[in-house]
Amino acid sequence: MPKVKIARKSTIVDMTAMCDVAFLLLSFFILATKQKPPEVLSVTPPNSISAKAAPEKAILITMTKDGRAFLTLGDDTKKAEILENVNLTKSLGLSAAELNKWGRQEFIGLPFNMVKGSLALAEPMAPAKMPGIPIKDSSNNEMVDWVRSVTNVYAGEDQAKLQEMLLVKGDNEALYPIFKNIKAAFKKNQIFKFRIVTNGEPVPVGSELYINPTNK
């Protein structure tokens, strides 16, 4: 009985179309992905195993390693009220248009005597060129005035909630006297609790927090 011969067929698969699709998808993801913008202020905070998320509308004080201090106000409505309060209490003489222009700037980092002049510039001063809020000298700690205006605007609201919103982000190389004067600004305004921003790191294996994560 003659053997039936099985026809041999080529097993080569043309992958040209698949390569084209893969290339198109790759191109799409590259173009559609939003790149993370570089930090305006370069700060490397200390590490911590804490994983508590920061509030969305935080009041953030940033300390750079060269000793400058900046303030960021996350709530735009409250920010406008705080700037207006500072304008009134420190007699800055800013118009409504100047206050509006000031409110559009993300970082507050100038001495009070430089604010009005900076708002007359065609382009806002870059944070990297700002001298920072005066804080190095305890006799001229303008952060006290800023925190006072914050408490004035938030007066009558839940103070525990306000303290949860107060964040301090300091560079790992920032000097302690700067941090000490920030604490003094809080204390003079009857604020005794605030939160520190840190870089997250894994819990050490075998530690108490690793064994009992609920204590974290």
β-bridge pairing 195-196 and 166-170 = parallel
Helices (H) and strands (E) in the chain, counts: 8, 6
User: What are 102-139's pLDDT values in tens digits?
Assistant: 999 999 999 999 999 999 999 999 999 999 999 988 88
Count of other CB atoms within 10 angstroms of residue 16: 8
Residue written as tokens 């305004």?
Answer: 189
Cβ atoms 195, 41 nearer than 8 A: no
Q: How much is the pTM?
A: 0.73
CA triple 165-166-171, angle to 5 deg? 130
**Confidence category of residue 189, pLDDT binned at 50, 70, 90:** very high
Q: Can you tell me the distance from the alpha carbon of 69 to that of 95, in angstroms, rounded to the nearest whole number?
A: 25
Q: Where are the beta strands (DSSP E) in the chain?
A: 47-48, 59-63, 69-73, 166-170, 195-196, 199-200
| Residue 36 vs residues 62, 124, 145, 170: alpha-carbon distances, Å | 20, 22, 34, 21
Q: What percent of the chain has pLDDT over 90?
A: 52
Cβ-based neighbour number of residue 104 at 10 Å: 9
17-71, pLDDT tens digit by residue? 666 666 666 666 666 655 444 456 677 776 666 666 777 889 999 999 999 999 9
Q: Measured between alpha carbons, how far is 140 from 152 in angstroms, rounded to an integer?
A: 20
Contact 168, 195 (CB under 8 A): yes
Which position has the higher pLDDT, 144 or 33? 144
* 208 has a pLDDT exceeding 80: no
Q: Give, rounded to a whole angstrom, the gap between the first and last alpha carbons of the chain.
A: 80
